[in-house]
Structure 1
């Protein structure tokens, strides 16, 4: 199996190399990067490119590793026993398969996405070490051992909000998705907005990178946000002249697609005010 990117996802050479290395080593691929740089979408595109089903496990702050294996619904079993339901005699009726079990139980190889692993408790990654290493786990209530029929391709994403344990990192192939340079971002834009006028794109991307590079910015706009911004510019039928700003510190048109908190908006408003006073 070899991943080369897809028509709808621009993958750099180092990213495709990382995906293929993880597949060859049969290790989870840990992908880090700024929010909005395409980490989650990478898993979907790997599945599409290789023609494999995908199972997605979205991690929340309350998610426990056990939920990825299975959950035993003791409350339902107790209720059914009180009602005299015959199902209570088979504990398997009250075992709910988690995403890892689904991936292990699949008849064919699948892509398993564990999305935003750093949202969970710090012990969460360590609690999955053995299962991801051995590709098996024990179900204590039924006494069975679940083993992967086909070793899944595991892609784990992180927004770098928490440090991950060393023992977990040792078992992964790691890749950091850098923010795309001008040429790569142009290619990404062309995929999502084919035929965009070169002059408009040049002006828009110049403003976008100026915005990202502004010192003091709390949240830099991401790839997904510049795509939304360009979609709005195209919907409003704007041209390069419409994007002209009153000095480099002024806010760009439709800046709400790029700046997502009041601190950053106020920063540019203050810079614009100071620029006007300095004339």
Structure 2
């Protein structure tokens, strides 16, 4: 593991600064905190790191109701009580009612894993603080059985955040931080080529023109992301959309063709409709 480095993969275009951040975090064995706009490849990055390091991937997807203790283990006292009432023999071994969490799996994995803690900012503000000790010491105590679960070696930890809320300073100090900037045009063209090998470059060029124009429209609420661009291109290819349609710069037709792949809420669709209406009034 120590000799392997992340250099991106054939399926994932990684910038030089991202490669540096990943390899630094792996070398230091500090949690890699990755922030960026939705759709910039934060979650996929963990998959690609695992593939590059030939390591198993353990995924913990965080929800608003997720508690930190669930990453360690959960004790099902209700099930044990029910089994006791039914006379089930399982009731005599409390281990039958302990469900291992993702951190437990990562700490005891036979092969050093990559642990993804995905969208940590979705949880309660105290969630990161509640994980501090376990991520620092790489161990925790199971009170019901009296055992201590300890990692033989520190797993590679990747933590993603969409920046929906601020993370505590104490948590940030323990992480290696990297912000994935939205891909520039050249990088985006490389990403498109990875997903659509041999795609017509004139089509890509015009599609990127429209895509970045949409992202720069003042007042847009949800800027289209990389994944939405790829969906849009897939539709354009499937519908065999003539290049002339994409070349159309008529301001009275402000909404791009098949815009449902790019614009994901009614406010943004209405914004483009208003722009088209205002342009028509000026004609």
Instruction: Please report the TM-score for the alignment, with normalisation by the length of structure 2.
Output: 0.97
Residue number in structure 1 paired with 2:39: 36
| Aligned-residue offset at 1:150 | 2.8
Deviations 1:48-84 (Å, cap 9, x if unpaired)?
1111110000000000000000000101111111122
Aligned equivalents of 1:226, 1:161: Cα separation in 2: 23
Contact 1:6 1:49 in 2 (8 A): yes
1:58-69 aligned within 5 A: 58-69=61-72
Q: Does 1:96 align with 2:123?
A: no
- Residue 86 of structure 2 corresponds to 83
Q: Verify the 8 A CA contact 1:52 1:111 in the aligned structure 2.
A: yes
The 2-side partners of 1:248 and 1:99 are apart by 53
1:248: how far off? 7.7
Q: CA deviation at 1:242?
A: 2.0
Cα pair 2:252 2:280 within 8 Å, conserved: no
Deviations 1:161-198 (A, max 9, x none): 01000000000000010000000000000000111111
8 Å contact kept, 1:136–1:148: yes
| SS of residue in 2 equivalent to 1:106 | coil
Supply the distance in 1 between the matched residues of 2:226 and 2:238 (Cα, whole angstroms): 18
Matched residue, 2:281 = 277
The answer to whether the 8 Å contact 1:107/1:150 transfers is no
Q: State the Cα deviation string for residues 141-170 of structure 1 (Å, max 9, x = none).
A: 111100012321000000000100000000
Ranges of 4+ aligned residues in structure 1 off by more than 4 Å? none
1:251 paired with 2:258, answer no
Aligned twin of 2:50: 47
Match of 1:172 in 2: 175
Q: Is the 1:245–1:251 contact (alpha carbons within 8 Å) kept by the matching residues of 2?
A: no
CA contact (8 A) 1:108 1:150 kept: no
SS of residue matched to 2:74: strand
Distance in 2 (CA, whole Å) between partners of 1:240 and 1:173 is: 44
- Which of 240, 243, 267 is matched with 1:263 structurally? 267
